[in-house]
């Protein structure tokens, strides 16, 4: 297999860190971005010729443009962009603050959009490339208490559905990775809204208690999840979407079947809304 160059955001912890480790270990080159310096110093010592680290806050559009240019200037050619940086906001829609909403959208949605928009002309000029968006099972289904998180994941998937059609003629393709609950630091890093007592005995309260007491299973293996994403990215024709983990597979399947049933049940009404021939 030919050596590849990857550009990965959000590499200080979690899936981004693991992906960086796996790619470096197999001999690939990685341009890794993170918000705070130092998190990859151990990897820099071991892989000084393969790893290039840049600081980036994904909510800063001007910084995105500057860092993407630095990455292409450094590498010359980038094979795979991995849009991984993000975070989770936890709380019922009524509980979350305006500031939390703004941060959630700026990080998971606007940041990902601006990153992709910025890299597209670079990929066009080099004759193509692959973009991986790390989304979630939450881009296809929804849990109570994650409404703002789901809003960003559903939105970024819709954005990519459209952009993928726009840039396919330039040899640019996409892979949307949709992990289910995975053993990373995601849960511990949740931005949690102040709870309101009125939601205690509602589905939102049930999910809050489930996360707190561990009754909501987190059965995804982070190492296997990253390996599956990398393997899909290596494929000549990867799937457009890739659910990862049994929980993600079953949750997404149930959600899609449910939406299809609703659509079919309203078929007659839908067709009746056409103009008369």
Catalytic annotation, residues: 135, 149, 153
Taking the CA atoms of residue 260, residue 136, residue 225 and residue 176 in that order, the dihedral angle to the nearest 10 degrees is: 70
What is each CA distance from 111 to 32, 85, 105, 114, 185, in whole angstroms? 16, 8, 8, 5, 21
What are the residues facing 220 on neighbouring strands?
Answer: 182
CA distances (Å), origin 67, targets 63, 71, 78, 127, 226: 6, 6, 13, 21, 24
114: Cα within 13 Å, side-chain hemisphere: 21
Tokens read off for 135: 């989304």
Kind and range of the H or E element at 31? strand 29-34
Give the bridge partners for 83, in sequence order. Answer: 133
Report the alpha-carbon distance of residue 229 to residue 179 in Å, rounded: 10
Task: Report whether 78 contacts 128 (CB < 8 A).
Answer: no
Cα separation, 28 vs 157, in Å, equals 28
Angle 150-154-155 from CA coordinates, rounded to 5°: 115
In the sheet that holds 172-179, the strands lie side by side as 51-55, 29-34, 5-8, 80-83, 129-134, 172-179, 241-244
CA distance linking residue 62 with residue 66, whole number of Å: 6
């Amino acid at each position: 297999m030919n050596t590849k160059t990857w550009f990965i955001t959000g590499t200080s912890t979690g899936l981004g860190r693991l992906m960086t480790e796996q790619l470096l270990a197999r001999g690939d080159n990685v341009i890794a971005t993170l918000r705070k310096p130092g998190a990859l110093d151990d990897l820099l010592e071991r892989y000084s010729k393969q790893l290039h680290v840049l600081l980036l806050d994904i909510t800063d559009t001007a910084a995105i443009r500057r860092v993407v240019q630095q990455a292409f200037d450094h590498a010359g050619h980038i094979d795979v962009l991995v849009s991984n940086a993000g975070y989770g906001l936890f709380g019922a829609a009524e509980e979350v603050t305006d500031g939390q909403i703004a941060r959630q959208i700026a990080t998971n949605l606007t940041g990902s959009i601006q990153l992709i928009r910025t890299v597209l002309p670079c990929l066009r000029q080099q004759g193509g490339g692959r973009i991986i968006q790390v989304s979630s099972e939450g881009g296809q289904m929804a849990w109570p208490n994650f409404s703002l998180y789901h809003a960003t994941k559903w939105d970024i998937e819709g954005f990519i559905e459209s952009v993928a059609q726009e840039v396919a003629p330039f040899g640019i393709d996409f892979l949307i990775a949709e992990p289910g609950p995975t053993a990373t630091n995601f849960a511990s890093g949740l931005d949690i809204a102040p709870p309101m007592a009125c939601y205690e005995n509602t589905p939102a309260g049930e999910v809050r208690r489930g996360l707190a007491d561990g009754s909501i299973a987190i059965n995804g293996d982070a190492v296997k999840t990253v390996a599956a994403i990398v393997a899909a990215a290596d494929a000549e024709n990867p799937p457009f979407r890739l659910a990862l983990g049994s929980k993600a597979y079953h949750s997404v399947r149930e959600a899609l079947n449910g939406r299809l049933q609703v659509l079919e049940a309203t078929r007659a009404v839908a067709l009746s809304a056409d103009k008369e021939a």
